């Protein structure tokens, strides 16, 4: 992993593979295929238009038909129609914005530019970062930050791409990321929210796939629990929210707290983190699942005064 902040930079080699890159469209198609193999009926390009709930079930009116079910699981992302039927949307401090692009490039050039590393750059936007992730035949690139930067973030992104030799004619798309602070319910009578629709996204990295899969499994368990008891009330479905909080709330909330702190004092804290191999390697262990984010935060708190002292002392000594 290559990490950059201002004039500071560092490359961390963990000695082994910690992640594999996938093409999102291929990954999503694989998941749909596996769902169909279990007996799910796939309705593609059939947008939901309205949702209503009564004592006997939930009704989904779509472009090509009306569907009834005992329970509805909303896995429809930040702009979730299921979310809008359940409660108001996310609070302003729970929203992030990013722009992304897929840059076609030969494998040889990808390796020359990045090798087998990802690049994370904290210099291009306040309270956010830019990234380059190598794939087989393209580089996945983006810049993410706070939503109030959305009007200028595209220019930041083009500047970042230009620094790496890419022209400014790439197809760019924007998206919002919800970062739940666990103030709101993710269930009600006959409805549940999972993944981005529930706000289960890591505040620091912006990663949500891991939590989407985990919450999807918990939702399936909760729905099965309700079917076995033939009740789909909010009181019965609360078991899903409790399970999500037990599994991921501590880590996601800790990530928010640490992110808020890092970007409040970026020169001091981010500058220290970028040049510290042990801090970076330990963080990568949260991505691989070897330790939780809470365990990482506790480890950092114990050592941060020493890391800060060493950095400041070395700086003064060099002057």
d(CA 274, CA 307): 11
Give per-residue pLDDT as tens, 176-190: 999 999 999 999 999
For 303, the enclosing helix (H) or strand (E) is helix 293-318
Same domain, 7 and 114: yes
Give per-residue pLDDT as tens, 215-232: 999 999 999 999 999 999
Query: Do the domain assignments include residue 126?
Result: yes
CB distance 21 to 140 below 8 Å: yes
CB contact set of 224 (below 8 Å; sequence gap of 6+): none
Give per-residue pLDDT as tens, 63-95: 999 999 999 999 999 999 999 999 889 999 999
Give the pLDDT score at 136: 84
Going by C-alpha positions, the residue among 209, 250, 188 that lies closest to residue 77 is: 209
d(CA 262, CA 128): 10
Same domain, 271 and 167: no
Query: Structural domain tally of the chain?
Result: 2
- pLDDT greater than 70 at residue 316: no
The parent domain of residue 276 ranges over 263-318
Same domain, 269 and 136: no
- CATH of residue 158: 3.30.9.10
3-state secondary structure at position 127: coil
Give the pLDDT score at 188: 96
Give the pLDDT score at 254: 94
Query: Do the domain assignments include residue 247?
Result: no
96: which DSSP letter?
Answer: E
Q: Does pTM top 0.85 for this prediction?
A: yes
- pLDDT greater than 60 at residue 318: no
Query: Do the domain assignments include residue 17?
Result: yes
Give per-residue pLDDT as tens, 247-289: 999 999 999 999 999 888 888 888 888 988 999 999 988 888 8
- pLDDT greater than 50 at residue 14: yes
d(CA 83, CA 186): 8
Q: How confident is the model at residue 152 (pLDDT cuts 50, 70, 90)?
A: confident
Query: Do the domain assignments include residue 157?
Result: yes
Mean pLDDT of the chain: 90
d(CA 259, CA 121): 15
Query: Do the domain assignments include residue 125?
Result: yes
For 173, the enclosing helix (H) or strand (E) is strand 173-178
Give the pLDDT score at 81: 94
CB distance 127 to 174 below 8 Å: no
To which residue do tokens 């941060």 refer?
304
Tokens at 248, concatenated: 């991921």
Give the pLDDT score at 319: 34
Query: Do the domain assignments include residue 164?
Result: yes
Task: Using the 3D structure, point to which of 150, 178, 206 is the last residue of a domain.
Answer: 178
């Amino acid at each position: 992993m290559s990490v950059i902040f201002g004039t500071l930079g560092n490359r961390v080699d963990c000695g082994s593979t910690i992640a594999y890159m996938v093409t999102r469209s291929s990954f999503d198609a694989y998941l749909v295929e596996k769902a169909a193999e279990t007996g799910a009926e796939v309705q593609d390009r059939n947008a939901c238009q309205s949702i209503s709930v009564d004592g006997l079930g939930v009704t989904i009116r779509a472009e090509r038909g009306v569907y009834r079910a005992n329970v509805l699981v909303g896995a429809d992302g930040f702009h979730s129609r299921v979310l809008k039927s359940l409660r108001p949307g996310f609070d302003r401090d729970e929203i992030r914005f990013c722009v992304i692009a897929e840059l076609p490039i030969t494998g040889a050039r990808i390796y020359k530019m990045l090798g087998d590393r990802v690049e994370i750059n904290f210099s291009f936007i306040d309270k956010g970062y830019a990234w380059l992730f190598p794939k087989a035949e393209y580089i996945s690139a983006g810049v993410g930050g706070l939503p109030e930067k959305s009007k200028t973030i595209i220019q930041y992104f083009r500047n970042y791409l230009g620094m790496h030799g890419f022209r400014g004619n790439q197809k760019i798309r924007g998206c919002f990321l919800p970062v739940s602070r666990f103030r709101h319910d993710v269930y009600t009578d006959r409805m549940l929210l999972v993944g981005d629709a529930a706000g289960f996204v890591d505040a620091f990295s912006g990663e949500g796939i891991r939590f989407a899969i985990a919450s999807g499994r918990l939702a399936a368990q909760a729905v099965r629990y309700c079917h076995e008891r033939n009740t789909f009330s909010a009181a019965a479905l609360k078991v899903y929210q409790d399970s999500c909080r037990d599994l991921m709330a501590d880590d996601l909330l800790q990530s928010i707290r640490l992110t808020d702190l890092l970007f409040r004092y970026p020169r001091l804290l981010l500058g220290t983190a970028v040049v510290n191999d042990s801090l970076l390697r330990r963080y990568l262990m949260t991505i691989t699942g070897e330790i939780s984010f809470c365990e990482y935060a506790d480890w950092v708190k114990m050592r941060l005064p020493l890391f800060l002292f060493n950095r400041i002392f070395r700086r003064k000594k060099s002057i």
